[in-house]
C-alpha cells in the first residue's frame, strides 16, 4: 500500500461522512502493520459533543477488531464541497493516535492540489502526555 493509495482510500471514505451540521465531510484511512486498512468518516450528532472525527472512527474500528500496530494514517476533508484546505487532525485525535502509536507514526494530510503533506506524530503532538500502562 503506497501513500497515494492510502490517500485515495481516505478520499473514498469521505463519501460515507454523516455531517449535516457542519457540512464538512472528512475521511481517514489507517494502515496497520499487517497491511490491513481501516477507513473511517466523521459522524455528527444533533447534540454536537457525541460527534466523532474520521480519524477516531478508523482507529476505533481497527482496535475493536484486534489491531494494535499501525504504520500510517491518511486524512482528507472538505467543507461545503470545497476541498480548499488541508484537514489537520484535531487535538483529541492526535492524543488517540499517541495511545496506540509511537512518535514515528506517519500522518498524511491531503492538500487541495491533489497532493499531501507528510508529518510524524511527534511533529503534530510533541511532549505527549502518557501514563505507564498496567496489565489490562
Query: Of 50 and 134, which has the nearer Cβ to ligand THU?
Result: 50
CB of 80 to ligand THU, least distance (A): 11
Query: Of 55 and 74, which has the nearer Cβ to ligand THU?
Result: 55
Pairing of strands 70-79, 106-110: parallel
CB of 57 to ligand THU, least distance (A): 8
Residue 55 annotated as catalytic: yes
User: Which residues, at least 6 apart from 78, have a Cβ–Cβ distance to it below 8 Å?
Assistant: 14, 24, 25, 84, 87
The SS3 assignment for 121 reads helix
Q: Bin 84: left if φ > 0, else alpha if -120 < ψ < 50, else beta.
A: alpha
Query: Of 37 and 53, which has the nearer Cβ to ligand THU?
Result: 53
Pairing of strands 70-79, 37-41: unpaired
Q: Which residues bind ligand THU (CB under 6 A)?
A: 19, 22, 24, 26, 42, 44, 51, 53-55, 87, 89-90, 93
Instruction: Point out the catalytic residue in the list 3, 35, 44, 55.
Output: 55
CB of 123 to ligand THU, least distance (A): 15
Using the structure block, give the residue that is written with the C-alpha cell 503534530: 124
Catalytic residues: 55
Amino acid at each position: 500500500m503506497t501513500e497515494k493509495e492510502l490517500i485515495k482510500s481516505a478520499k473514498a471514505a469521505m463519501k460515507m461522512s454523516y455531517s449535516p451540521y457542519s457540512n464538512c465531510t472528512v475521511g481517514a484511512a489507517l494502515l496497520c502493520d499487517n497491511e490491513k486498512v481501516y477507513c473511517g468518516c466523521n459522524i455528527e450528532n444533533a447534540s454536537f459533543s457525541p460527534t466523532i472525527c474520521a480519524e477516531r472512527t478508523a482507529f476505533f474500528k481497527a482496535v475493536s477488531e484486534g489491531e494494535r500496530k499501525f504504520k500510517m494514517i491518511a486524512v482528507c476533508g472538505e467543507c461545503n464541497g470545497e476541498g480548499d484546505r488541508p484537514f489537520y487532525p484535531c487535538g483529541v485525535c492526535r492524543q488517540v493516535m499517541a495511545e496506540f502509536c509511537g512518535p514515528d507514526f506517519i500522518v498524511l494530510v491531503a492538500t487541495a492540489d491533489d497532493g499531501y503533506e507528510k508529518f510524524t506524530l511527534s511533529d503534530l503532538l510533541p511532549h505527549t502526555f502518557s501514563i505507564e500502562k498496567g496489565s489490562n
